[in-house]
Every structure is written in C-alpha cells, then in structure tokens.
C-alpha cells in the first residue's frame, strides 16, 4: 500500500476480493487526515474498497513538509493511483478534497490513462475563474475562526495550545493551497458527477454546487442534505447509499444491497 493512501473498512477492514470490489479513493478537507473517512468506510465496506488519502504533514506523516499547492499535490496523488490493474475506481472528495478529486481526475485525463468511473464531490462549489472569498484566509486567527465556524475540527484541538500547534502547520499549508488555487479552463471530464451539498453550507450554496455540471460532459446529479458544511457526519447512511448508487454501473451484481 502506498504511503499516500490508507485502507479502511468494516470490522477488520475487510473487503470481499472475490467480488472485485471497486476502489473508492477519498480526499479529505483542509486540515483533514485519512482517518476522517473511517466512519464512511465502515458504511461502504465490503461493497467498496475504501482508501483515504493521507496528505503529508499530518498524523503519521506529520514530520513531512505539507504541500501548499493544489496542482503539485494533485500530480503527486495521481502518481500513486494504480490505474493499470483494471480495477474500477472512483473518487470522493469533501471541500478542498473535492477540488483535489477533480484535479487528480484532470491529471489522469491529460496522461491519457483510465480515469475514475465517477466523481462524488461534496461541500464545494464548482470551480470558477474567480477564487472563493472563503478560501482567502491570511492569518492563523482567520483560519482558526473559519475552522470553528465550519465545525470540521475537534474543539479540544483548537483550545489546547500544544495540540493546536501540532495541527496548525497542516492547516496553514492547506489553506495556502486552496487559497492560491486558480481554476484553469480546459477540456471537460467525461465522468459522471454526484454532487453533495448541505442546504445551509456557508461556503457552497446549492446553486454553486449544481454548477459542477458545467465541467463534465457526463450526467451530474446534485443531492441536497439538511445541514451545514460538515453535513456528512449526520447523514452517513444516506451518504453511503448515494455513493453506492453513483458507482452502480461498476458494482458487481452480487454486491447489490
């Protein structure tokens, strides 16, 4: 297993290899780590083989320098996705992770290799030439205020000075990366999109989420959930069903629920 991805699942982390379970590569939000996706992986295993990206600069990779550029990080992630073994795969990304899922898919398209069978894009507006004001956070105080308001980090981490200093390098780098991200127009993807958004998300309105349909030539379906930016936590069973539906066209028949 690549140092870039962690495999999660149900009890024992087991999948059913005889079903050739499609892989779901998950990309965390700014400041997030692979373990963010443990609850979702438990819902999706054994139907899917769930692998979550572990960006440098956090948890077991905390001694590595974090990336502060979306394009460079997307290229590095694409290097560690085994596209040649024939196993169907898809991407799931939340917030900054949605941008990475999209940009990694674009990298693979430029490389002319087999791309993902589907993209599930959560908690993020569609890319536009104009950057989002919510991404432009200049100081630690701005970052901490945004994290508190969005609710994506355990409160104890933010109130304990020692713990806060452990997570701040990754947060700074991630917000620098997403804050400097400028979408470059190019050929649309030919991949079906499933877009998830909270109806009270302060950083991605329903209309902004629906606009993902403009960067793919395949169908794009938007699912609206009750909640804010981290609505996923309150709707895990429904999110899992939505993900499985999005991958229905590559699921083994015997894996149907």
Give the whole-angstrom CA distance, residue 235 versus residue 223: 12
Structure confidence at residue 10 as a pLDDT band (50, 70, 90): low
pLDDT on residue 168: 87
> 225: how many CB neighbours lie within 10 A of its CB?
20
| pLDDT tens profile 159-170 | 777 777 888 899
Q: Which residue has the higher pLDDT, 159 or 100?
A: 100
Catalytic annotation present for 2: no
Distance of alpha carbon 169 from alpha carbon 220, whole angstroms: 35
Active-site residue (options: 2, 35, 95, 122)? 95
* Residue pLDDT, tens place only, 107-150: 999 999 999 999 999 999 999 888 788 888 889 889 888 888 88
Structure confidence by residue, pLDDT tens digits, 210-233:
999 999 999 999 999 999 999 998
Q: What angle do CA 33, 74, 193 make, to 5 degrees?
A: 85
């Amino acid at each position: 297993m690549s140092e870039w991805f962690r495999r999660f699942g149900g009890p024992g982390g087991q999948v059913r290899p005889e079903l050739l379970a499609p892989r779901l590569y998950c990309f965390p939000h700014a400041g997030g780590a692979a373990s963010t996706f443990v609850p979702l992986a438990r819902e999706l295993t054994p139907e899917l083989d769930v692998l979550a990206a572990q960006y440098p600069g956090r948890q077991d990779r905390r001694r590595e320098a974090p990336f502060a550029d979306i394009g460079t990080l997307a290229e590095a992630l694409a290097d560690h996705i085994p596209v040649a073994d024939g196993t169907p795969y898809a991407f799931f990304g939340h917030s900054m992770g949605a941008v990475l899922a999209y940009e990694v898919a674009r990298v693979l398209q430029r490389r002319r290799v087999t791309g993902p069978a589907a993209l599930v894009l959560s908690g993020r507006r569609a890319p536009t030439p104009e950057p989002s004001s919510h991404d432009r956070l200049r100081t630690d105080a701005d970052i901490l205020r945004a994290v508190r308001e969005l609710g994506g980090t355990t409160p104890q981490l933010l109130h304990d000075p020692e713990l806060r200093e452990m997570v701040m390098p990754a947060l700074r780098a991630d917000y620098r990366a997403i804050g400097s991200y400028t979408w470059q127009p190019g050929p649309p993807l030919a991949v079906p999109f499933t877009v998830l958004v909270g109806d009270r998300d302060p950083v991605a309105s329903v209309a902004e989420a629906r606009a993902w349909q403009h960067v793919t030539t395949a169908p794009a379906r938007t699912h609206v959930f009750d909640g804010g930016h981290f609505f996923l936590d309150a709707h895990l069973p429904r999110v899992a069903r939505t993900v499985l539906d999005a991958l229905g066209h590559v699921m083994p028949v015997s894996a149907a629920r």
